Amino acid sequence: MKTMNLYSPASSSIPSLNMADEFSYTDEELIARFQDGDEQAYVELVNRYRNRLMTFVYRFVNDIEKAEDIVQDTLMKLYTHRHYYRNIAKFSTWIYTIAGNFAKTELRRKKRHKVTNLSQMGFDDREYQLPSVEPETGETAQGHFAEKKIQMAIQELPLHFRTVVILRDIQELSYEEISKIVDVPLGTVKSRINRARLQLQQSLKEFR
């Protein structure tokens, strides 16, 4: 059976379609090709979204292992449920919605069990090497500290504030897209983001 090779030790980005094609297809075109049976289009979508989703989910659940599991589940769902996508919304809206739902489910599950495990510790509490973590210098140590404070402050936000502020201020999505992802009116999204920022500002003032 022919298997799709997602991982090549030579590079982290797998050339799937032509190198020239890689940048010319929109997400919507890629998912349409995947729905028609082109599995290389799926590989391209994985390459485009795995780190973006990882950032979003990690900032949401604050657990690196769980975040990676959730992103795996999201991309598996993309694979098995490709035909559920309809071109009435952006592909990014769809995939972020799936990831967000998985993340919320995980947080609810965690709340019920209230288990603390090693993977909930931050970057510097355990030896967990992430390719994105730079070696710490004086400047970056300070920036890292600030990042940790912000991450802690984000965790203090209620879920409905946390989702929107991460999507807006970290993922840099538009208000309209966020409104579709979380399925609330635009005005409500703007209000929640505003409230979230004010709460973060207050929390970070206390951390100083």
Distance CA 50, CA 46 (A): 6
Distance CA 86, CA 51 (A): 24
Residue list 64-123, contact with other proteins (CB under 8 A): 64, 67-68, 71-72, 75-76, 79-80
* Exposure on the CB side of residue 81, measured as CA atoms within 13 A: 12
Q: How far is the CB of 88 from other proteins (least distance, A)?
A: 27
Residue from 45, 46, 99, 157 that binds other proteins (CB under 8 A)? 46
Stretch that binds other proteins, among 30-38, 98-106, 109-117, 139-147 (CB under 8 A): 139-147
139 interacts with other proteins by CB under 8 A: no
Which residues are registered as beta bridge partners of 11?
8
Query: Whose Cβ is closer to other proteins: residue 24's or residue 132's?
Result: 132
For the range 177-181, what are the long-range contacts, defined as Cβ-Cβ under 8 Å and sequence gap of 24 or more? Answer: 177/90, 177/92, 177/93, 180/89, 180/90, 180/93, 180/97, 181/93, 181/96, 181/97, 181/100
Query: Whose Cβ is closer to other proteins: residue 67's or residue 181's?
Result: 67
Quick check: 130 and 64 in contact, CB under 8 A? yes
200 interacts with other proteins by CB under 8 A: yes
138 interacts with other proteins by CB under 8 A: no
Residue from 5, 23, 37, 114 that binds other proteins (CB under 8 A)? 5
Distance CA 151, CA 153 (A): 5
50 interacts with other proteins by CB under 8 A: yes
52 interacts with other proteins by CB under 8 A: yes
40 interacts with other proteins by CB under 8 A: no
Q: Which of 177, 203, 140, 199 is nearest to 56 (CA)?
A: 177
135 interacts with other proteins by CB under 8 A: no
CA dihedral 52, 57, 59, 64 (to 10 degrees): -100
Token look-up 């993340």 returns 103
176 interacts with other proteins by CB under 8 A: no
Give the binding site for other proteins (CB under 8 A).
1, 3-7, 12, 14, 46, 50-52, 54-55, 58-59, 64, 67-68, 71-72, 75-76, 79-80, 130-134, 143, 146-147, 150-151, 165, 169-170, 172, 190-191, 193-194, 197-198, 200-201, 204-205
